[in-house]
Amino acid sequence: MTQTPARPRARSHAGAIILACAATLALSAVTAPGAIAAPPEGAALRTSSSVSALAGQNEQTLVVPVTAGLEPTRVKGTIVVSGKPEGTVRATVNGRVVLETKAAASIPLDAAVSAADMTAADVAGQQLTVGLQFVAATQTMCVVSNATATLNNLAVDFSGTAKVPTTVGEFFPASVPAVVLPVPAEPGADVSAAIMTASAAMSHRYPDAAVSVVPDTELAARAANLPAGSRVLSVVADQGETSTELATAAGLPQLILSGHDDQLRTAARALSSDKTALAVTSSVTGLTSALPAAPGLVQSLKDLGSSTLKLSGYGTPESYVGVTQSQFGGPVSSVKVQLKGTHTAVPDNAQAQVSVFWNDYLLSSKNLDGGDTFTVDADVPAGQLQAKNGLRIRLAALPAGGDCTGPAGVMPMEVTVDTAGSNLTAVRGGSTKAGFARFPQTFGQSVPVAFGPGNAQANTVNAASLVASLQRDSATLLDTRMVGLDDLAGSSESGLVVGATADAANRLSAPLRLAEFRTIAPADVEYGVGTTAPFGVLEAFEQGGRDLLLLGAWAPEGDTAGASTLQASLASHVSGVEGGWASLSRNLLVTQPSGTPVLLESNVVVPQKAVTDDYRPYAWWIGGAVLILGLAFALRTVLMRRRAKAAQDYVDAEQKATEPGHGN
Amino acid sequence: MATSVATRRRAAHRQPALRSLTSLVTWGWERLGAPVDGRKVPGTRIVAVTSLLVGYLACLYTIGQGTNLDYSDAQSHLTIARRIFDSKAPGFEQLGTVWLPMPHLLLAPFVLNTWLFSTGWAAGLLGILALSATTTGLYLIAARLGLGRAGRLATTLVVLANPAVLYVYTTALTEPVLIMCIVGGMAGLAHWATSRRRMSAGELAVFAGIPSAAAVLSRYEGWALVMTGTLFVLVVAKRRTGGWREAFIMAGGYVMVPAAAVLWWISYNWAIYGNPLEFMFGQYSAYAQQKNITDGGLLPTKGNLGLTLTTFHWSLLETAGMVVLALAACGAVVLVFRRGFANSTLLVAVTGSAYAFALLSLFLGQTAINNDHSLPSTWWNNRFALTALPLVAILVAVFVHEITRPARLRPWVIGALLATLAAQNAWWNEDPTGRLAVLAEGRMSAESTTNSTAAARWLHDHYESGGILMDESARGNAVLPVMGIPLKEIYNRAAGDYFGPALKDPAKYAKWVFVNVEAGTGARDSGPTDLVYRAMVSDPSFNVRYSVAFSTPTHRIYERSSD
């Protein structure tokens, strides 16, 4: 009998995606000396990323994009096994087994590969899929080893010359390791908006690529460290029709998008579409794209990215589906889960249950018995809903008599979830406390951005970097547009403020004003920060029923250069932080002159004078109350006098009527 | 046939019973709307009994859930009351100086029983009586103000239909006693001010002075009541008699008992602590505690009237509810419009003196309140907003009385008001600890003492004899009722001369040591450091003589290694 491992397809789909993302992200940090459009033969792509496979888990893969024109020659790395190294470790390239050996604490990987191992990612790119599997020595059919094999420091040697794209379609292959967006000095509002939109478009289109935004003077320095296949995307103002042009910048293929006003922004938005791959000319004019429709509040598991969901075997095989609030097109206050599926017959004396967890909270559990179908209806309780969530479906099955050791030939339990017919129904509303966790879903699809006065180039760089980070956590394309600070302050829309001044922070009632501050526990920030040393801050807060992000800085004696540097370092930190935007918790990210930025809750900040002063006008409530009571008293007095006068007049008239001689 | 006859007989027997029940309800209903007759206010007993019943049910619920001991202060009050009799150094000096003594003196008879003490039923029983006295007092005031049945019942409903108020009355917090005493004093003043018969100064002292004195010895809001009450008596007596002499005699009659209470408190402080103003500036005084908070910049309401108003009224709103506050605001306007500055208006204003005092204290930085709209936002002292309860209840009564005057509309108006009140309660019920500030604070307090409570329960289950050394005043250590062990077994700060030697040589005195081990890591305003912990870490032999018997991240229990 084939004994099925207890976690046969555990997280296979989502896990592969996550690992591929991680790997490709890491590839952006590849050190490839002289990585230009035509790298020298024998260069290596080296990555510090890793791919892990749990014992008994299906093969886990790592996708390495290979630029057109290059040919891989060797794949190298080290496989480390944690836990008991019992079983077999297998490495594959595009499904071809390149290594199969008995598990050991450390196993070197060095295998020859060729062009035949590559698969075409699209017309303009190819990829190498490296797989890792840890086949555990079987213990029982219900118990799984928790040992893990990890492939570290994957390096790919390659030969050949990278092909320079000659059409817009080739400029946008299926995957790229990195995209750089240079920002010209003093960009106009239309260029800034287009750069931010392009930044979102690239992050949306290439979720695994490192998207960076730099001042154009720093392009060469940034490009020097990028791997082959990276792209430069420039946006320039031009009063003519919106058009694209291919060129080379800093040794990398460059696409120049030119145009003006809102057409420039919509053209930048169009770059997110796969349809650009169809452009077979070096220049395209009139590029435009409508904003994709917002996702609805009902999403099937298939819509959420899980096209097949099958659990089989004994023990506790499980599968995981990531669910973000942005997949429902905005913030949601509750989610109803309805799962439908089928299962194989449960043998006599065997037991099987299907359990559904939401962020490790058990939503529902059902015994699988009579019949061959099951449904699970469950509400996610308030408080369990986060920006990013995980729906875990677990099959818990025991063979007949609970005997996990045999006999051979036991039919495995199997459960198949109908991913198209299983739905998650959300209700629009809020579920998380004000802070970073409300982003990006609070934007829906629209991100109005306002700049503070001053350096538009720096503001554009910072804003586009933040937008790129937000986009990575958003399922929908973010439509970024420039608005005036006054307009944003007066609107009810959520938005982003970059380069905020102290006045702007006061006006928007930011929890941390750009002024001196101290924390309740002095150890929260470096000594002097906020009093004698400058600080930069990214704040996420609720104001007037909407959520705002504000990036600003404070420096003693108006050190604007220092303040600008701190803002740039914060934007850069958010772009590169491990875990991305989702790793930001609380509502303040404060950067300090030295050391790493710290996440703070505004509650740990001793109330600043500017904050407490906001409340002083409420003192007029007393005046208002006294005024209302005074008016009530005045009205009473007037009415009483009138009544007294009327009574007096009546008495006078009566007296007059009874006077002798009256009426004669 | 025989069965049929028997059934008819039973039915015939039931009909008079039904009739008598109906007539009883009708009689009660009429009593609740009957005019005041001298000293007697019809319907008082009905309100009193109903409130006793509601209070009992509230106690059954909260004590059953164990939430009545959520507040650390509630446990401290129970402990102070009990240690008057049960302590290493029993006596009246155990009343201490941190809090005024009346709540503890009233609790004392109830906490004599260990079960009543450890379950919190002692406070529950006092709370039931206080709830009954409060609603009855409000009913009396409303009746004396000339309000009809709807207005009178509205005051009662403001109290009895508020889960936050009911919760507080099941705990050992000082608010139930304070509000009872304030309302008692106000009811006495209302009687005096509205009575056709001229009451003597002695009668005023008995009916208004004594409850006011009790308020003076309950919380400092009571002192404000006496000041404004005295002014009220002066003005009303002058209006009545036209002579200042008579007015001063009456004012003196009212104020003499409360003044004696103040003098007693100052004398007590002088006698026990050698400083008549120990309660104001001593080591454990509110001033000393506020100083830490002020120095840390965490008292932003000080000198900021706008923030003071915002902070206090959010607490009030999240305690009394939007519906009740809106009705009260309308009531204030109606009162001034209908009655101008008549004696009845002044009386209502005096009812609000505790509310004004609470606002003033917050503005002057003498107290701190925090809620989800304060700076910083947390939950702290929201129950102080309950000092506005008597004023709110009376103003609601005035408004309800006014809008139910037209008989044609009365059923509709009353129906609408009741429906709104029910909706308010339904909304609260969806998330009581998130929407009612007092309950939110209780939950937060309970969560912050999860470890010490677990340690106390462990000791309750395992302690047989041998004595316990602990610093009950330290952060999170106010868990003696949960521990449920006779207080004479415990060496703590209240043990007086026994505590010092026990700190120096714990093994000689105590088999068990209960200690908070997070000294120095807490927030600035989180209470004194655990003296036992300090002594323990400075004693190198401690870990030789004691071993850990129970441990949590914040609290540990040590057991002496050898007997």
pLDDT score, position A529: 73
Q: Is B366 exposed, middle or buried (0-12, 13-18, 19+ CB in 10 A)?
A: middle
**What is the length of chain A?**
664
CA-based nearest distance A581→chain B, Å: 25
3 state SS for B229-254: HHHHHHHHHHHHHCCHHHHHHHHHHH
A618, A629, A637: best to mutate for the B interface, most B CBs within 10 A: A618
Terminal C-alpha separation, chain B: 82
> Would you call A635 an interface residue with chain B, using a CB distance cutoff of 8 Å?
yes
pLDDT score, position B294: 77
Residues A30 and A151 in one domain: yes
Residue type, B20: S
Cβ <8 Å between A633 and B297: no
Residues A229 and A151 in one domain: no
Q: Residues of A with CB below 8 A from B307's CB? A: 612, 615-616, 618
Enclosing H/E stretch for A397: strand A388-398
This complex has an ipTM of: 0.86
Identify the CA nearest to B67 among candidates B463, B473, B446: B446
Whether B375 contacts B293, CB under 8 Å: no
Q: What confidence tier does A19 reach under pLDDT thresholds 50, 70, 90?
A: very low
Residue type, A156: V
What number of other Cβ atoms are within 10 A of residue A435's Cβ? Answer: 21
Select the residue of A521, A622, A633 nearest B336 (Cβ to Cβ). A633
Q: Is B12 exposed, middle or buried (0-12, 13-18, 19+ CB in 10 A)?
A: exposed
How far lies A585's CA from each of A339, A538, B17, B164, in Å?
A: 31, 12, 67, 33
Question: Tens of pLDDT along A329-377?
Answer: 999 999 999 999 999 988 888 888 999 999 989 999 989 887 889 999 9
Select the residue of A612, A621, A633 nearest B300 (Cβ to Cβ). A612
Cβ <8 Å between B332 and A629: yes
* Maximum alpha-carbon separation in chain B: 93
Residue A508 lies in a domain: yes
Q: How many CB pairs under 8 A join A and B?
A: 70
Q: How far is CA B307 from the centre of its chain?
A: 25
Burial annotation B45-76 (CB, 10 A radius, 16+ → b, else e): ebbbebbbebbbebbeebbeeebbbbbbbbbb
Of A69 and A393, the one with more pLDDT: A393
Residues A399 and A534 in one domain: no
B293, B298, B305, B338: best to mutate for the A interface, most A CBs within 10 A: B305
Whether B210 contacts B259, CB under 8 Å: no
Residues A128 and A37 in one domain: yes
CA-based nearest distance B430→chain A, Å: 11
Residue type, A158: F
Residues A150 and A204 in one domain: no
Cβ <8 Å between A618 and B307: yes
pLDDT score, position A651: 92
What would the DSSP string read from start to end of B325-346?
Answer: HHHHHHHHHHHHHHHTT-HHHH
In whole angstroms, what is the distance from residue B286 CA to residue B294 CA? Answer: 12
Cβ <8 Å between B297 and A518: yes
Give yes or no for a cis peptide into A407 (omega within 30° of 0): yes
pLDDT above 80: residue A390: yes
Q: What is the CATH number of the domain that holds A389?
A: 2.60.120.260
Q: Which tokens is B170 given?
A: 């099941």
Cβ <8 Å between B307 and A617: no
Cβ <8 Å between B337 and A632: yes
Query: Residues near B88 by Cβ (< 8 Å), separated by ≥ 6?
Result: B487, B488, B490, B491, B494, B495, B496, B498
How far lies A424's CA from each of A296, A325, A392, in Å?
A: 11, 11, 13
pLDDT score, position A258: 93
CA-based nearest distance B376→chain A, Å: 5
Q: Among A116, A146, A162, where does a domain finish?
A: A162
In whole angstroms, what is the distance from residue A415 CA to residue A421 CA? Answer: 15
Terminal C-alpha separation, chain A: 133
Cβ <8 Å between B333 and A632: yes
Q: Among A248, A278, A308, where does a domain finish?
A: A278
pLDDT score, position A207: 86
The residue of chain A nearest to residue B332, with distances taken between CA atoms, is A629
CA-based nearest distance A595→chain B, Å: 23
Residues A34 and A115 in one domain: yes
Residue B8 pairs in a beta bridge with none
pLDDT score, position A27: 37
Q: Which tokens is A656 given?
A: 């007059």
Q: Residues of B with CB below 8 A from A619's CB? A: 305-306, 309
> Would you call B341 an interface residue with chain A, using a CB distance cutoff of 8 Å?
yes
pLDDT score, position A662: 59
Residues of chain B with pLDDT under 50: 1-2, 520-526
pLDDT score, position A36: 34
Q: Which domain holds residue A388?
A: 298-404+411-430
Residues A268 and A248 in one domain: yes
pLDDT score, position B189: 96
In whole angstroms, what is the distance from residue A475 CA to residue A332 CA? Answer: 14
Cβ <8 Å between B376 and A633: no
Q: Among A225, A246, A278, where does a domain finish?
A: A278
Residue A365 lies in a domain: yes
For residues A281-302, average pLDDT: 81
Residue A511 lies in a domain: yes
Cβ <8 Å between B306 and A618: yes
In whole angstroms, what is the distance from residue B177 CA to residue A241 CA? Answer: 80
Q: What confidence tier does A496 reach under pLDDT thresholds 50, 70, 90?
A: very high
pLDDT score, position B136: 97
Give yes or no for a cis peptide into A534 (omega within 30° of 0): no
> Would you call A628 an interface residue with chain B, using a CB distance cutoff of 8 Å?
yes
Handedness of CA A636, A641, A645, A650 (dihedral sign): positive
pLDDT above 90: residue A160: no
The B residues from 507 to 536 touching A (CB cutoff 8 Å) are 523-524
Q: Residues of B with CB below 8 A from A521's CB? A: 523
Residues A8 and A139 in one domain: yes
Residues A96 and A175 in one domain: no
Number of domains in chain A: 5
Q: What confidence tier does A1 reach under pLDDT thresholds 50, 70, 90?
A: very low
* Maximum alpha-carbon separation in chain A: 137
Residue type, B278: E
CA-based nearest distance B369→chain A, Å: 14
Burial annotation A226-263 (CB, 10 A radius, 16+ → b, else e): bbbbbbbbbbbeeeeebbbebeebbbbbbbbbbbbeeb
What is the rounded average pLDDT for all residues in chain B? 92
Residue A291 lies in a domain: no
How are beta strands A87-93 and A96-102 bridged, if at all? antiparallel
Residue corresponding to tokens 């004004």: B356
In whole angstroms, what is the distance from residue A485 CA to residue A507 CA? Answer: 10
Phi (first) and psi of residue B273, to 5 degrees: -110, -5
Residue A448 lies in a domain: no
Residues A317 and A417 in one domain: yes
pLDDT above 70: residue A9: no
CA-based nearest distance B378→chain A, Å: 8
In whole angstroms, what is the distance from residue A645 CA to residue A654 CA? Answer: 14
Residues A580 and A508 in one domain: yes
Residue A661 lies in a domain: no
> Domain-by-domain residue ranges, chain B?
46-442, 449-560
Q: B515 by DSSP, 3-state: which?
A: strand
pLDDT score, position A40: 39
Residues A209 and A73 in one domain: no
For residues A300-307, average pLDDT: 89
CA angle A37, A39, A41 (to 5 degrees): 150
